[in-house]
Structure 1
Amino acid sequence: MSQTTEPRTGMVITVPAPIARAAAAASRWAGRHGVLLAALLLVGAAMAWKAAIARNAYFKEDDFEFVARAMENDLSFDYLTRIHFGQFMPGGFLLAWISARLEPFGWGYAAGMVLALHACAALAVLRMLRVVFGARPAILAPLLVFLVAPVTVPVLAWWAAGLNTVFLQIALPMAVASHWHHLRTGRLRHAVAAALWVLFGLLGFVKGFALPLVLLALTAIYHGGLRRALRGHVAAWSMQLVVLAGFGALYVQRSLSAPNTGALPIFDQAAGFLWELLGRTFATTVLGGPWRWFAGNDWGVVSPPLPVVIASLVTLAAMVAVTTYYRRRAGLAWALLLGYVLVADALPVLWGRVHLLGSFAGTDTRYVADAVPLVALVAGLVLLPLPGEAEPYRRALPARERVSGVCGAALGLFVGASLVSVSVFAGHLGAERRHRYIETARAELARAAPGTVIYDRLVPPDVLPSSYGAYSLTSKVLGALAPPRLRATMQAPPAALEGMVFDDQGRLRPVDVQGVPLAPRTRDRCWPVTGGTVQVPLDNRVTRAEGTLVRLGYAARADTKVTLWMADRATDVALRAGLGRVFVLAEPGADRIVVDDLPPGVCIGDVTPGQAVPRP
């Protein structure tokens, strides 16, 4: 059979029956699932928008260390559970290892993984909203809050920050959805799922310890009070405690072997940090701000003018007052959001970062990016009634048209303000210098001849600050790009007559030593030989992260071999006839170079200890 339609033009169009039935079925499905389709379209559009922004960023700071560690370690328990400046992030290190092994310093893989998980977080928020409020069109508003919130964008431009945050952005809404199912049905499997999602969050970020507190608060507020919440769901809370206890024991055990970087700040630092984090960062970004950023190299932190901060605080106070006036338990929902930001976002930073960075740490949006799923949930809780909720409002609402108009205008202003803030932030992204340096070094290493000896030096400070210690060295950063054998020799280079070093553009150049020459005072300019032994003093008071490279000038009548002793390490060197030089890395703590059994016809001349530099 076929279906015939006759347009106004008089033409007759015959549609085959199978196509007509399929179209009708698709239309009915779309009608039943219109909210889901609209939500998926919003998620897709938001991810495309954020991908276009993230592609302009590049690796920075901790990212270089994460790639280097991933390339020099197997996928072991020790690697995954290493404490990184107080952070315990096995999940993040797993992603870093996979990304680096696919392509070291491949921004497409690295950013793509984080963006894919952020998309999963958006779907998790959608699931949470559908479970809590039902599949009604109104849930698109809080979903849109999550999708366009400016605070979600910077963590996509800093890989190390994203590796932490996306785990919590997924875990929080999924744990809430599973726990809400448990509260409705009483089924234990949902409580198990909630506990597993808490564990998932903890494996990405220590701040996941606050998730059970969120679940407890939601249960107490919307399911009968604290006493009933505790007594009525003992099994659920027991599983949460088991997860926290197991995680805590592992965290403490691993912390015992890690450097202690935590400390309490002084009062002025703590107060300043809380003002910056809550008053300037969270209060403005939750309304679509900050609209102005203090820009760094491929990065930015909030820098809203004081009038904007005051206006944001007044607006938030008005929102809290109005929603609390009409919506039952709205004040408790707002308190839940504030409590989460204080406990999960402020307290860990107060212990681990503020004593080092001061109040300035509070201007960094990455510390509150994990709270955005909860912002979306609270936005729904203070406005929308729950399915089956009796008397959700304290008093009659104004006319429906007025409420819809005000809420629609507020959402439109938020979206517009967010687009402005994100556009300004995106204008600060771009790291052509770092990208060019890495890609130049990648090409140079690919062309390096077998047996090339590459000596170490610090990477340029505009690529990575020297504060990262050993992971500021070319042997670590650029060694991640090298084959395993070459990487090993870069980290422990042998003595050589000719060596190479990376210049500040990432090119391999012949090595030289920058230092104070030690010249013998003898007539022939040779270090004196006593009993067949030459001793050259070294100043071991100077220490360098890259080590001390020594250049020994020599003259030899014929090809020969000598043995250089520094401390208790011996290095055999083959000398070529004529004038030449030998490069050798000094043994830490050595106060002299000793050459035993110096062959006849060999003169050890000027000796220069110092740092490796490209030869002019």
Structure 2
Amino acid sequence: MSSVAIALIIAQLVVRAWLAATGNFYWDDLVLIGRASSQPILSWDYLGHSHDGHFMPAAFLVAGISTVIAPVNWVLPAITLVVMQALASLAVWRMIRVVAGRTAGIGALAALAFYLVTPMTVPAFAWWAAALNSLPMQAAMAWIVADAVLLVRSRGRRPDARLIVIRSTVIFVVALAFFEKSLFILPVAFAAAVLAVRYTGSRSPGTTATADPDATGAIGDDRATPGYADTALTRAFSAARTLWASMSIVFVIWLVVFFSVSDATAGQHSIAQTARLVWRSINDAVIPSFVGGPWEWERWVPSPPMGFPPVWMIVLGWVVLAVLVWWAVSRRRGAAGVVICTAFYVIAAQIPVMWNRSSANTALELAQTMRYLPDTAVVITIAIALIIGSPERARTATAVRHARPGADDRGLVPVVALVGALAVASATISLVSFSTSWRDDPTGDYLATAKRSLAANRDHPMFDQSLPLEVLLPVAYPNNQISHTFGRVRDRPEFAVTTDRLNVLDSAGNLVPGAVTPARKIRPGRGACDRPEITGPGRLSLDGPLIQWRWTIGVSYCANRSGQLDMSLEGGRTVRVPVQAGLHVVYVQLEGRGRAIAVRPVTAGLTLHTGEGRVGEVAEARLVG
């Protein structure tokens, strides 16, 4: 069975590697790159930044290291995606074997197959920024649940119990450093531990636990006092109380830190909109995933792909879920409790994130991106493992005593195999459709073309500019500026506030001639090249006033020698501008307002005559008259 499971994991990784290789950076990825390109990656300002309400220093660190090593290069992020997915998939398989038991057979493979192919984990994998959050959480949740079950089933008397506690606590901290939603791991692990020991080592009703004289010093030793009620809850708590205590301390500390640095609660929120988003997430995302859907993914650039399942697929998903629940409840003892706990998590886990996105302007289609569901997929997998690891329902007391947890339903093997094959085929259709939609994005081509263009212009300083709207919207400012995106690229021009050649990147990333839009015109000086009017501090008059803004000035001049002069607008800082002897044009970016530009030669003996000029914004020359 293990060899089959490993083969399934390898197959998943091959498919995911293809998905990663055909993808590229998108939206928040560029924000991470921009921050890593403009700040020291080991500084708290960088690592402790609240990114869209998320506190994720470890994710920032990985993004920063990747940006420093290979700036704006998709290869390294793609490798991190596949490696993290491998760790998560292996951790999930370990969890299934621990929770369901090594003899679970086809049921364990079915649980693994569900996790490996469910569309709920695909969107967050393809998006690097989302994967840096979700994949560590998936791996950590699976590992810690398995460790917790190992502890409680042994009543804390394993020789490696102390190591398990330390290991799980460290993993919990690491997961939290990637994603604050990993706080959910603690209640999930505790609930899984309680559900896992209901039929393991329980005593007859009305009896009490007795102390074990051979268990002295064991982690979570459950030696009892008279009247101790040996229930699943008390066994799960006492057998791993050191684990729960250490993780609870981390939980509280991290919660305090999160709310002290995060702005997750900022903005407008709506209870009604939250409810609608949660329902849309469940009905149009979670439910279709039980039949491998959705098959149709649409993208409204620059938004991520959204799944649009047809009505029949939603109905079929509900029917399949009802059948599975009916089978579990009717065939496995305690399955109802597992189903209830799972349903509670599926709903409750969506509420915080949907609350944070619940402004009146939030489109309900946000819930159909499915990027908030990977942990839900893991929890459902845990539920499947718990159910198949539970003893079968029996009609007689003798059958109950001889019921074997994880016993295979031999007659169901062909049915499970057929249903599983259909589900995998359906999920494959969904993945291919998602991949097609995911690739329908201009970001990758723009970045590749822009890097080539910048390398070809590396000898001439150029102005900073915004990325195209279809790549990153201005709400991400200043990380939507090319100086942030390409800041750590080595083969590029210097980004400056003055240049003698105005070039810009067009919407495709090509370097093209630029021009200054004529918001205001600069009147020519009253002198001439042989009679320069600027021999000391002077002013370039405009044909109208300027409001406070960052303006681009383009002005022609002739200078008697090469040197430097200072230029400024009212209310803005002074910029030192290099000029060359002879007749030339200079472009300068100044902040400020007013009706004139102040100029002052800095180099001794420098004199100038200025011709006509413009004050405005930088645009492609072909678009400016």
Partner of residue 500, structure 2? 497
1:65 and 2:41 equivalent? no
Deviation readout 1:29-54 (Å, 9 max, x if unpaired): xxxxxx22221111111111221222
Partner of residue 288, structure 1? 292
Give the direction of change, closer, same or farther, for the CA distance of 1:592–1:497 in structure 2 (3 Å limit): same
Give the direction of change, closer, same or farther, for the CA distance of 1:513–1:213 in structure 2 (3 Å limit): same
1:161 and 2:169 equivalent? no
Greater mean deviation of Cα atoms: 206-215 or 466-475: 466-475
Distance 2:408 2:525 in 1: 102
Instruction: Give the match's secondary structure for 2:461.
Output: coil
Distance 1:203 1:557 in 2: 60
More helix by share: 1
- How much does 1:303 deviate? 0.5
Give the direction of change, closer, same or farther, for the CA distance of 1:358–1:510 in structure 2 (3 Å limit): closer
- Aligned pairs for 1:304-323 (under 5 A) are 304-323=309-328
- How much does 1:441 deviate? 2.2
Give the direction of change, closer, same or farther, for the CA distance of 1:397–1:608 in structure 2 (3 Å limit): closer
Contact between 1:263 and 1:355, CA under 8 Å: does it hold in 2? no
Q: Which amino acid aligns with 1:46?
A: Q
Greater mean deviation of Cα atoms: 567-576 or 604-613: 567-576
- How much does 1:469 deviate? 1.7
Distance 1:296 1:75 in 2: 33
- How much does 1:356 deviate? 5.3
Partner of residue 277, structure 1? 281
Distance 2:259 2:286 in 1: 31
Partner of residue 266, structure 1? 270
Q: Which amino acid aligns with 1:67?
A: I
Distance 1:276 1:149 in 2: 18
The partner residue of 1:51 within 13, 17, 42 is 17
Give the direction of change, closer, same or farther, for the CA distance of 1:344–1:271 in structure 2 (3 Å limit): closer
Contact between 1:58 and 1:431, CA under 8 Å: does it hold in 2? no
The partner residue of 1:448 within 457, 468, 471 is 457
Distance 2:536 2:405 in 1: 105
Give the direction of change, closer, same or farther, for the CA distance of 1:466–1:103 in structure 2 (3 Å limit): same
Distance 2:361 2:153 in 1: 46
Partner of residue 184, structure 1? 153
Partner of residue 420, structure 2? 411
- Aligned pairs for 1:346-495 (under 5 A) are 346-352=351-357, 357-385=362-390, 391=400, 400-430=409-439, 433-450=442-459, 452-482=460-490, 489-490=494-495, 493-495=496-498
Give the direction of change, closer, same or farther, for the CA distance of 1:443–1:81 in structure 2 (3 Å limit): same
Distance 1:595 1:398 in 2: 88
1:512 and 2:512 equivalent? no
- How much does 1:182 deviate? 1.2
Partner of residue 7, structure 1? none
Partner of residue 118, structure 1? 85
Distance 1:531 1:481 in 2: 40
The partner residue of 1:603 within 609, 614, 618 is 609
- How much does 1:313 deviate? 1.8
Contact between 2:548 and 2:593, CA under 8 Å: does it hold in 1? no
Contact between 1:564 and 1:572, CA under 8 Å: does it hold in 2? yes
The partner residue of 2:256 within 236, 249, 252 is 249
Aligned pair count? 569
Contact between 2:540 and 2:599, CA under 8 Å: does it hold in 1? yes
Deviation readout 1:214-252 (Å, 9 max, x if unpaired): 122123333334355445543222111111122123223
Give structure 1 stretches of 5+ with no counterpart: 1-34
What is the TM-score of this pair, normalised by structure 2?
A: 0.82
Partner of residue 32, structure 1? none
Distance 1:522 1:572 in 2: 20
1:199 and 2:173 equivalent? yes
Contact between 2:541 and 2:596, CA under 8 Å: does it hold in 1? yes
Give the direction of change, closer, same or farther, for the CA distance of 1:233–1:107 in structure 2 (3 Å limit): same
Contact between 2:42 and 2:61, CA under 8 Å: does it hold in 1? no
- Aligned pairs for 1:295-306 (under 5 A) are 295-297=299-301, 299-306=304-311
Give the direction of change, closer, same or farther, for the CA distance of 1:611–1:148 in structure 2 (3 Å limit): same
Partner of residue 209, structure 1? 183
Contact between 1:327 and 1:393, CA under 8 Å: does it hold in 2? no
- How much does 1:404 deviate? 3.0
Q: Which amino acid aligns with 2:28?
A: D
- How much does 1:130 deviate? 1.5
Give the direction of change, closer, same or farther, for the CA distance of 1:149–1:556 in structure 2 (3 Å limit): same
Give the direction of change, closer, same or farther, for the CA distance of 1:564–1:233 in structure 2 (3 Å limit): same
Q: Which amino acid aligns with 1:286?
A: F
Instruction: Give the match's secondary structure for 2:167.
Output: helix
Contact between 2:462 and 2:502, CA under 8 Å: does it hold in 1? yes
The partner residue of 1:91 within 58, 65, 86 is 58
- How much does 1:476 deviate? 1.6
Greater mean deviation of Cα atoms: 145-154 or 337-346: 337-346
Contact between 1:337 and 1:375, CA under 8 Å: does it hold in 2? yes
Partner of residue 582, structure 1? 586
Partner of residue 100, structure 2? 133
Contact between 2:555 and 2:586, CA under 8 Å: does it hold in 1? yes
Distance 1:261 1:306 in 2: 35
Distance 1:600 1:246 in 2: 63
- How much does 1:135 deviate? 2.3
Give the direction of change, closer, same or farther, for the CA distance of 1:481–1:399 in structure 2 (3 Å limit): closer
Distance 1:319 1:600 in 2: 86
Greater mean deviation of Cα atoms: 159-168 or 463-472: 463-472
Contact between 1:455 and 1:511, CA under 8 Å: does it hold in 2? no
RMSD: 3.4
Instruction: Give the match's secondary structure for 2:41.
Output: coil
The partner residue of 1:563 within 566, 589, 612 is 566
Contact between 1:210 and 1:340, CA under 8 Å: does it hold in 2? no
- How much does 1:475 deviate? 1.6
Instruction: Give the match's secondary structure for 1:562.
Output: strand
Distance 1:428 1:220 in 2: 42
Partner of residue 225, structure 2? none
Give the direction of change, closer, same or farther, for the CA distance of 1:602–1:108 in structure 2 (3 Å limit): closer
Distance 1:196 1:355 in 2: 40
- How much does 1:399 deviate? 11
- How much does 1:596 deviate? 4.1
- Aligned pairs for 1:5-16 (under 5 A) are none
1:107 and 2:107 equivalent? no
Deviation readout 1:178-219 (Å, 9 max, x if unpaired): 111111230333233232222222111111111111122123
Distance 2:537 2:139 in 1: 71
Q: Which amino acid aligns with 2:341?
A: L
- How much does 1:152 deviate? 2.0
Contact between 2:506 and 2:512, CA under 8 Å: does it hold in 1? yes
Q: Which amino acid aligns with 1:495?
A: T
Identical residues among aligned pairs (%): 24
- How much does 1:600 deviate? 9.0
Give the direction of change, closer, same or farther, for the CA distance of 1:178–1:228 in structure 2 (3 Å limit): closer
What is the TM-score of this pair, normalised by structure 1?
A: 0.83
Contact between 1:326 and 1:397, CA under 8 Å: does it hold in 2? no
Q: Which amino acid aligns with 1:467?
A: V
Instruction: Give the match's secondary structure for 2:462.
Output: coil
Contact between 2:334 and 2:390, CA under 8 Å: does it hold in 1? no
Distance 2:37 2:536 in 1: 48
